[in-house]
Structure formats: structure tokens, C-alpha cells
Homo-oligomer: A and B are copies of this chain.
Amino acid sequence: MIESNVSDVNDSRAPTKDRILDAAEALFSERGFEATSLRTITAAAEVNLAAVNYHFHSKDDLIRAVFARRIGPLNQKRLESLKACLDAAGDGPVALENVIRAFVEPVLLLRRDPQGAAVGRLFGRTYADPSGAARRTFFDLMKEVGRPFTEAFRRALPGLNQVDLLWKMHFSIGVMAHTLAGAEHLTVISGGLCDLADVEGTLDRIVAYIAAGMRATPAKLNRS
């Protein structure tokens, strides 16, 4: 009630830096990196244009910062869940579904709030986005989860060779990325019957689909 500022709107203003990150995140996820100008970002954040060059050096560095802020905590959750399911397995077999869930659940849970949904879309889109800065940053930050999860999948699918495993992980990442990036499209097509806001239901569906795919055996791998 003390706040009586000059101009309009909701002024218990977060730090400028965070306002820029929030706006950039939302706009990048909606329009892509190239199509989003710094002017649009600073207008949405209601900060000055020059602020983005003061707090971040350049647009590329802003893109990097947007990813860095989110991926760290996300991957920490994934690794914690993975550790939990490996501990539960002990020396016995690792449950495939649990490994998949450990990887998918944290990023799908983002969908619970609108800002998180933007993050999800952004990640999903980045897998297919050619933008240099985004791609490099994203994959650099994803390396830390790549190795332990590959190892966990190997334990959950004993007897599967390396090449088969990599292909299946690739397919599985596609399922996740496309679900994150293009889910509103599905909502429209289905006339609202398929709703990504139902996180638990979506999670059950996606885990079941991926698990079955990873267990599948290609029928005829050597054709004439």
C-alpha cells in the first residue's frame, strides 16, 4: 500500500535483470530467437532498451543466460530422481519406467505455471532450432545429465547394444521435445480432449509410450 509510483501497472517491481530474463524467456518461446528483438523484450519487461546491454553483454549472452538460469535446477532434480531410483534398485535390476520418469517428470512439471510452460516450449523448440547461441548453450548444459542417464538405461535394458540404445534414446528425446514444443497444437486438434495441463496423465502416457518403444525389437534389421 506504500507503493504509489509514477506510471501504471503492477509495481512491486522485480529486479530489472530478472524482468528481462522473464520477458525474454516468454517471447523466445513464442516467436523464436531471431524473430524476437531486444526492443520487444525490453518493452514487455517495461525496462529501458539499454538495460539489456548493461546486464548482459549482447543478445547472444542474454540467450545463454535464459537457458543457464533454468537448466541447472532442472537437471539437479533429474539427477536426484535418478539417484533415488538407482538406490532403490540396489544391485538388482533397474526399473526402466522409473528412469524415464526421472528424466521427463521435472521438465513436464514446469507446465503447471504459465512461465514454466514457456520454459518447456523453449526447451522443446531448441532441439530443432538452428540458432547458434541457443543450441550450443543448451547442449553444453545437457551434457551433465547425458552420461548418467545413458548408464542407467544400459542397466535397465541389459543386453541391448550401444547403437540400439543410442537410437532409442534419440527417438525418446523426440517424443519429449515434441510434446513440450507442440502440445497446444494437439489441444486444438483434439478439440480440447487432449490437455497437456493434465500433467500426471500426460506423464503416464509418455512414460508408457517411451518404455514400450525402448523395449521394442526391430523386426528385420538386415534387408536385402
Contacts and interface: CB of A to CB of B under 8 A. Distances in A.
Per assembly, the copies of the chain total 2
Given A186-B166, A213-B213, A128 B35 contact: no
A193 interface: yes
B223 A216 contact: no
A33 to B, nearest CB: 8
A24 to B, nearest CB: 14
Given A173-B178, A178-B178, A204-B221, A163 B194 contact: yes
Contact of A204 (B131, B215, B218): B218
Given A124-B128, A208-B218, A166 B178 contact: no
A186 B167 CA distance: 8
B178 A127 contact: yes
Contacts of A189: 166
A129 interface: yes
A30 to B, nearest CB: 6
Interface in A90-128: 97, 124-125, 127-128
Contacts of A204: 218-221, 223
Interface string A161-172: 011101110110
B181 A170 contact: no
Interface string A132-147: 0000000000000000
30 contacts: A31-B130, A32-B34, A34-B35, A35-B130, A35-B131, A97-B219, A124-B128, A125-B129, A128-B128, A128-B177, A163-B190, A163-B194, A166-B190, A167-B209, A168-B209, A170-B179, A170-B194, A174-B174, A174-B176, A174-B182, A175-B175, A177-B178, A204-B220, A204-B221, A207-B218, A208-B216, A208-B218, A209-B213, A209-B216, A212-B212
